[in-house]
A and B are shown apart, each in its own frame.
Chain A
C-alpha cells in the first residue's frame, strides 16, 4: 500500500494541472472572502448598526466563500477537478496500463488515488477557509463582528468534509465512465441544471406538487445543506435536511458510486 501511496503522491505533484487548479481554488476563495470582508466593513462603516443574530453568520460565510449562505461551493468544485483528472488522466492518456504494471494491485491503486486526492483537497480547503476567515477578521475586527467562533470552526470542518466527498464523488464518476470530459461536464451540469429542472418539475407539475418536498433529497442540494448556516433544520431528514442528513444523502451517493467504481476497476480490462 505504501508503494501505491508513494506513486500517487508523486503523480499528483508532478502534473501542472494540480498546481493551477489548486491556485485557482485559493484565488477564488480568497477573492470572495476579500469581497465579503471588505464589502461588510464598508457597509458597517457607512451604516453602523447592530446586526443582531446575523453577526454570527458573517464568520462562517466569509470563511466558506459564501457557501454557508447557500451559494455554490466554488472552491470545492475547482478542487474536485483535481480528483477528476486523477482518474481521467489514467484513461485519457493510457496511463492506466503504466500504473498497473508499476503497481500490479488494482485495489492499492484505487485506495491510493482516493486517499491522496482526498488528503490534498482537504488540506487545501482547510487552508483556504482559515486564510479566508483571517481576511474577514482583518476587515471586521474593528466593527465587533466575531469571525473565529465555534460556528465558524464547525462550518470550516464541514466544508473540508464536503469538498472531500464532492471530490470522491467526482472521482468515482470519472472512474465509472472513464471519461474526464463527461465527468467535468456532469459535475457542473448536475447541480446547476439537472437538480434545478427536477425541482422545477416537482414544483410545477400539478400531480407532483404534493411530492415537491422530495427535492431536498437530491444529492447536490442535500450536500449543500452541510454548509448552509442560514436555515435551521427541524430534524435529521426534515425539510430542510440537517447538515448530518445532507451528509448522509450526499455521502451515501458518493459511497455507492465509489463501491461500483471499485468493482468495475477489478473487473474491467485495463
Chain B
C-alpha cells in the first residue's frame, strides 16, 4: 500500500496564486479529509497531484509520480468532478473503455457495477442519472482498477443520507484494507465521522495537517470545564501559566491550553476541591471555521454588516 507524498505543490492562474508551496502526506490505512473554504485550491491541488494541471512541486504514490505509473487506474483511482462521463455512453461502456486502457478484465466492470449498486442501470445512459447516481458511476470508475490509493473530490455531492452513510462505510472499509484515501468534502459533520487525518488549506496554503483529534483539540472551542467552590483560587493559578486561558462561564471555569489531567493535578497539588472536571471538545465545524477564519476566497456579507477583518494565521494560546 502506498503513501501519498505531496511536496511543494504550487499553481498560479494569470498571476493569482491558487496553490502555494503545499506539502502533506496521506498514510496508508487512513482516510484523510481535505478541507478548505470554497476557492481554497482543493480541486486544483488534486489535479496537480495527478499531473492534470501543470504547476510546481511533485506528488508521489509509493515513491513514483502519477505519470510514471503503468496502468495508472490499478494504482490510483480518482473522482474529480460530478459527472465525468459522456451523457450518452452507457454506464457499462464507460467502465469498459476505462478498463481497456488499464488491462482490467471485463468481469471486474460488472463486479464494480454491482458493488456500487449500478447493476440495474449498467446499460442505461448516464444522462438519465441523478447527481447521486452519477457520483456512484464516478466512484465505480475510481474503484475499477482496485487501486491502493483513492483521490476523491466531493464524492458525497448529490448522495442522499443513505448514500452518504454507504459511502462512509465503503471508504472506511477501503482504508481498513490498508489503502490511502484522500477525500475532500464540505460536509464537515460527515468528515468528522469519516476522516482519521485532515489536511486543511486556505487560499492555497496549508493551515493544518494531522490527526482529526489533534485538530479539534487545538481549537479554542475545545475547553476543560471545571466547577469548584474555590474558582477564584484556581483561576489565579491558571493565570500564572503561559498560553493558558480561563474564562468564567455560568459559574464554571472554561480552561483553554491545558488538558483535564493537568488541570486536575494542579488543583490537587494546591488542595483545591473540584466538583466537575470535564473536557468539552469543539466540533469539527467550529475548529474548521476558526482555522480558516480570514482564509475564505469568497465572502458573503450579512445584510447591513461589513465583515470584520480576520487574521489568516490561527491564534496561538489565548487570554483571560
Point out residues on A near B: beta carbons under 8 Å: 3-4, 6-7, 9-11, 14-17, 89, 93-95, 97-98, 100-105, 267-270
Q: Could you list 5 further interchain pairs (A-B, Cβ under 8 angstroms) beyond the known A94-B81, A104-B69?
A: A6-B101, A93-B86, A97-B80, A105-B67, A269-B54
- The residue in chain B whose Cβ has the minimal distance to the Cβ of A95 is B86
**Which chain A residue lies CB-closest to B87?**
A93
Contact A15 to B89, CB < 8 A, known contacts A94-B84, A269-B52, A269-B53: yes
Question: How far apart sit A99 and B147, CA to CA, in the bound complex (Å)?
Answer: 17
Q: Is A97 in contact with B90, judged by CB distance below 8 angstroms?
A: no
The answer for the CA separation of A9 and B96 in the assembled complex, in Å, is 11
Query: B139 to nearest A CB, angstroms?
Result: 13
B88 touching A15, Cβ below 8 Å: yes
With the chains together, A97 CA to B151 CA distance in Å? 13
**Interface residues of B: mostly helix, strand, loop or mixed?**
loop
Contact of B84 among A15, A95, A103 (CB under 8 A): A95
- Interface flags, B40-51, vs A, CB<8A=1, else 0: 000000010011
The interface on chain B, measured as residues whose beta carbon lies within 8 A of the other chain's beta carbons, has a size of 34
Query: Which residues of chain A are within 8 angstroms of B80 by Cβ–Cβ distance?
Result: 97, 101
Q: Point out the residues of chain B lying under 8 angstroms from A104, CB to CB.
A: 51, 66-67, 69, 72
How many Å lie between the Cα of A102 and that of B104 in the bound state? Answer: 11
Which residues of chain B are within 8 angstroms of A94 by Cβ–Cβ distance?
Answer: 81, 83-84
**Given A3-B101, A4-B101, does the pair A101, B72 have CB atoms closer than 8 Å?**
yes
Q: Which of A7, A102, A103 counts the most chain B CB atoms within 10 A?
A: A102
Q: Is B113 an interface residue (CB 8 A)?
A: no
Q: Which of A7, A15, A16 contacts B100 (CB 8 A)?
A: A7
Q: Given A94-B84, A104-B66 in contact, is the A3-B71 Cβ separation under 8 Å? A: yes
Q: Is the CB of A101 within 8 A of B76?
A: yes
30 contacts between A and B (CB under 8 A): A3-B102, A4-B101, A6-B101, A9-B100, A10-B96, A11-B97, A14-B93, A16-B88, A17-B88, A89-B86, A93-B83, A93-B87, A94-B83, A95-B84, A97-B80, A97-B81, A98-B85, A98-B141, A100-B51, A101-B50, A101-B73, A101-B76, A101-B80, A102-B73, A102-B102, A104-B67, A104-B69, A105-B67, A269-B52, A269-B54
Per the bound structure, the CA–CA distance linking A15 and B126 in Å amounts to: 12
B86→A103 contact, CB < 8 A: no
Which residues does chain A contribute within 8 Å of B85, judged by CB atoms?
A: 93, 95, 98
Look across to chain A and name the residue whose beta carbon is closest to the beta carbon of B126.
Answer: A93
Say how far B141's CB is from chain A's closest CB, in angstroms: 7
The yes or no answer to B78 lying at the interface (CB within 8 A) is yes
Interfacial chain B residues near A270, Cβ < 8 Å: 47, 52-53
B236 to chain A, nearest CB (A): 59
Nearest residue (CB) in B for A109 is B101
B211 within 8 A of A: no
Nearest B residue (CB) for A268: B54
**Nearest 6 pairs of A and B residues by beta carbon:** A7-B101, A14-B93, A270-B52, A6-B100, A269-B53, A10-B100
Closest residue of B by beta carbon distance from A17: B88
B103: CB under 8 A from chain A?
Answer: yes
Collect the chain B residues with CB atoms within 8 Å of residue A100's CB: 50-52
> Across the interface, do B101 and A103 meet the contact criterion of CB distance under 8 Å?
yes
**How many Å from the CB of B90 to the closest CB on chain A?**
7
Does chain A have a CB within 8 A of B282? no
Inter-chain CA distance A270–B66, complex, in Å, is 15
B98 beta carbon closer than 8 Å to chain A = yes
Complex contacts, B88 vs chain A, CB 8 Å = 15-17
Among B52, B67, B97, B98, point to the contact of A97 (Cβ < 8 A). Answer: B52
- State how many angstroms separate the Cβ of B49 from the closest Cβ of chain A: 11
Q: How far is the CB of B145 from chain A (nearest CB, A)?
A: 9
Q: How far is the CA of A95 from the CA of B85 in the complex (A)?
A: 6
- B100 contact set on A, CB distance < 8 A: 3, 6-7, 9-10
Is there an interface contact between B103 and A3, defined as CB atoms closer than 8 Å?
yes
Complex Cα distance, B86 from A93, in Å, reads 6
**Closest residue of chain B to A108, judged by CB?**
B101
A268 to B51, CA, bound (A): 11
Chain B nearest CB from A99 CB (Å) reads: 8
